[in-house]
Amino acid sequence: MGTLWQDLRYGARMLGKTPGFTVVAVAVLALGIGANTTIFSLINGMLLRPLVGVESPERLAAVYTSDFSSGLYGTSSYPDYISFRDGAHAFEGLAAYQNTTVSLTESDEPERLRGASVTGNYFKVLGVGVSAGRTLLPEDEVAAGGDPVIVISHNLWQRRFNSEPAIVNRTISLDGRAHTVVGVVAESFRGLHIGSSPEFWQPMPPPPNNPSARGNRSLTLVGRLKGGATIEEANAQLTAIAARLAQDYPETNRGTLARPDEPRPITVARQTRLGHKQRKTIIGVSGMLMLMVGLVLLIACANVANLLLARASVRRREIAIRLALGSGRLRLIQQLLTESMCLAILGGLLGLLLTLWTSDFLPKFFPSEEASGLDLSVDWRVLGFTLGLSLLTGIVFGLAPALQASRQNLLSALKDDTGAPEVHGFGRFGMRNALVVLQVALSLILLICAGLFMRSLRAASTADPGFNAENVLLMRMEARGVKMKREEEEIFYRGVQEQVGALPGVRSVALAYIVPISGGGMRTNVYVEGYQPKPNEDTELNTNIVSPNYFKTIGIPLVQGRDFGAADTANAPGVVIINEEFARRYFPGASPVGKRLRSDSEGPYLEVVGVVKDAKYRALREEPLPFFYTPLAQGSREALTLFVRTDGDPSAVLPSVRAELKSLNKNLTLFQVNTFSAHLADALSSDTMIAVLLSVFGVAALLLAAVGLYGVMSYAVARRTHEIGVRMALGAQTGDIIKLVLWQGMILLLVGCVVGLSAAFALTRLMSSLLYGVGATDPLTFVGITLLLAGVATLACYIPARRATRVDPMVALRYE
């Protein structure tokens, strides 16, 4: 301990004596460590951070019933939930919840709130505290029908009710109906999922008990394991229950697309803040990002190692004296490593500051709704990571120079006062060259990855989505409270289209249930007349409900048949419009118009009246999907989105559209008001983040490599001053000297590029699944980025080369 303290003090003094070196090294390390800490804080926030505001989150487990065709992680039905709750003894309690929305109709301007219907034991199972009043209780479920009660989030309480304690037992109007607020949930609880912080919780009334209820799977389940019980036990118990249910209720509980004759699988997993699919994507992306910042850190290490090597040659005498005085080699290495550690820790601290800044900044990449509950702040995990990484970094960059310094020849160092030993071949200079080659190679890899992502992002954002999103206003609207009758609804929607369509600056207006590129959609089983599905063929197809003029409004060309019209009412014969992909798949070689399909094996047939061009539906990166549209009047929904195509800037007409809608129905809640273009940009937000992050890392790597190259070339020029002087005396021109120095740099660059390009070829293949519209070995990117790197590197060599030409041969020769 005593020696460590001594080493530390001595190390600090040495660093203080060379402030220039210390500042550069610490800054380089801070960049490298900060990049890692930033990505780690992102991973921490999304994957590692436990749920907050609940008791012992490690004992919470999510329970999934397999979907029919889209994977294991599906929702469950209420009767199944009851069977699970009462039968699985591994759980202390099992709760169910379902996201829902209401309109807060307290003021003139109704506000749409996101919340959840939860079983009465929800808060008890989670162990959530309150800021005021109480949480929901099982008794509330029964009362739900009569005098509805509700608990609200701390945020809503602050935002809309000024944190008044009197909120408890007050009634507020939701969807036009009085609800009693019985409590405010503790501030720390923001729901169970990133991207959806509920603002209220209402008790879920048990649904009427009918045979089909078991098949209606829309509840998410969360349970608390008994102390000592494991996920596996819970899984086994629930699987046994599911097997029994499959026997008792084969209609609803047996079979998935893949295994039609087996019980629906049940999966119990640790409760996480991200959905399963999202989690998988995030793990893939963050793994890649972590790899990239790892490369940045390696480059930084190579850089600092090079600085240390240069310094070591200056400190040769000091080290030789220490060795001569009997300091053991190990002791010396320890001393030198302590110095490296000091540097690394300083770099780590500065890197942490960088992360404090980025943790505020990164969530801004996400659409605000998705980022809600995303907490990237620095916690003990981030601190621990930074500390561990800093120490590791210190060893990585410090070890080689320390070993080399301790191995030097004592006598020659002591005799030689100039401190400029002649070393040839793979000596000190060889190691420095190798480090520069490494830096060039790594930064090339990083830059190529960044380049590919940039191109991918560009391809995704400029790819033709099949519609024209420019100058389109989107506005979701919901008429809650006073439930409209079917006919009233039709009149209202027609009114909306006519009145809003007549506003100045508005070209056309349409309504639709689903906004394209929202990540999700609506799927339904489709039976095409005369088409025999292959065994195990997925007959669930994507669909949307749209008003007349929808295609015209968002610019999807009609290629055959007709658009929906006023005549396609609820009582008129059922009609659909399909896309070209649908036509290709189900009616190859035939004209689709007049063909029939139905979305139920029993129901009435719907006639295809038109074919539209393919467009993107769920995501910009998807392959063409078979898709069909049904008319609004034949498939009405509660919440629809209004699409308004405008002559100019869509936001200019927003006030008049709002006013017009208000005049049509004062109970209307408007939300998710956005332009279509902004909506598309949101869809690319995580791609944008990846591309921006990678570019930042790539540029950082490029700069670090350039600085490294510059350092080595400067060192080489300094070392060759005398030689350059001789050459000039012999008549070398400026150009000859520049060529001489550049050539040396170019060899390093060339070797670095060859290594980097080969590695990049191998590596980028791994991320081809994350790319869109650009190959993992896209030649343009590879060539372009290599040229960019070569340009910057040449500049980095040119400066020392230029300096070399200013060597005064007189002075150089005088140093004989």
Binding site for another protein (CB under 8 A): 422, 424, 722-723, 726-734, 736, 809-810, 813, 816
Token pair of 694 as six digits: 């990678």
Number of residues written out for the chain = 816
Closer to another protein by Cβ: residue 305 or 728 = 728
Q: How far is the CB of 745 from another protein (least distance, A)?
A: 16
Q: How would DSSP label each residue in 16-37?
A: HH-HHHHHHHHHHHHHHHHHHH
CB of 718 to another protein, least distance (A): 16
Find the shortest distance in angstroms from Cβ 418 to another protein. 14
CA terminus-to-terminus distance, the chain: 48
User: In this complex, which beta carbon is closest to another protein, that of residue 177 or of residue 719?
Assistant: 719
Hunting for tokens 């070339």 — which residue is that?
Answer: 713
Distance, CA of 702 to CA of 43 (rounded, Å): 25
* Distance, CA of 66 to CA of 255 (rounded, Å): 10
Q: At closest approach, how far in Å is the CB of 413 from another protein?
A: 20
Closer by beta carbon to another protein, 142 or else 811: 811
> Shortest Cβ distance from residue 396 to another protein (Å)?
32
| Site of tokens 């989030």 | 153
For residues 116 and 100, the answer to whether their CB atoms sit within 8 Å is yes
Reading the block at residue 311, the tokens are 């310094």
To another protein, the closest distance from the beta carbon of 812 in angstroms equals 10
User: 663 or 734, CB closer to another protein?
Assistant: 734
The minimum distance between CB 739 and another protein, in angstroms, equals: 10
Give least dist CB 288 to another protein, A. 44
Tell me whether residue 679 or residue 727 sits nearer to another protein (CB atom).
727
> Cβ 424 to another protein, closest distance in Å?
7
Q: Report, in Å, the least distance between residue 709 CB and another protein.
A: 20
Cβ distance to another protein smaller for residue 415 or 424? 424
Which residue number, 230 or 733, has a Cβ lying nearer to another protein?
A: 733
**Residue whose CB is less far from another protein, 289 or 801:** 801
CA distance 352 to 134: 40
- Least separation in angstroms between residue 809's CB and another protein is 5
72, amino acid identity: L
- As given in the structure block, the two tokens for residue 683 are 């869809």
What are the backbone angles phi and psi of residue 649, rounded to the nearest 5°?
Answer: -55, 115
Q: Which is nearer to another protein, 19 or 731 (CB)?
A: 731
Which of the 8 DSSP states describes residue 105?
A: -
Taking the complex as a whole, the smallest distance from the CB of residue 422 to another protein amounts, in Å, to 7
DSSP-assigned beta bridge partners for residue 541: 524
Nearer to another protein, 163 or 733 (CB): 733
Q: Give the CA dihedral 744, 750, 752, 755, nearest 10 degrees.
A: -150
Structure tokens at 325: 């005085």
| CB of 277 or CB of 814, closer to another protein | 814
Residue entry with tokens 């720390």: 188
* Selection from 48, 76, 49 nearest residue 62 by Cα: 76
Identity of the residue numbered 667:
N
Residues 707, 797: Cα–Cα separation, whole Å: 10
Helices (H), 176-328: 231-248, 250-253, 276-314, 316-324
Q: Which is nearer to another protein, 185 or 728 (CB)?
A: 728
| Bridge partners of residue 524, in order along the sequence | 541
Tokens of 388: 């561990």
Q: Which residues contact 769 (CB under 8 A, 6 or more apart)?
A: 284
Q: Which is nearer to another protein, 584 or 739 (CB)?
A: 739
- For 524-552, the three-class secondary structure string (H helix, E strand, C coil) is EECEECCCCCCCCCCCEEEEEEECCCHHH
Provide, rounded to whole angstroms, the least separation between the CB of residue 805 and another protein: 9
Reading the block at residue 183, the tokens are 């409590």
Q: Tell me the one-letter amino acid at 520.
A: G
For another protein, the closer of residues 615 and 807 by Cβ is: 807
Report the C-alpha gap between 29 and 783 in whole angstroms.
29
Q: How many helices (H) and strands (E) does the chain have?
A: 25, 23
Minimum distance, C-beta of residue 744 to another protein, in the bound complex (Å)? 11
Q: Is residue 37 within 8 Å of residue 382, measured between CB atoms?
A: yes
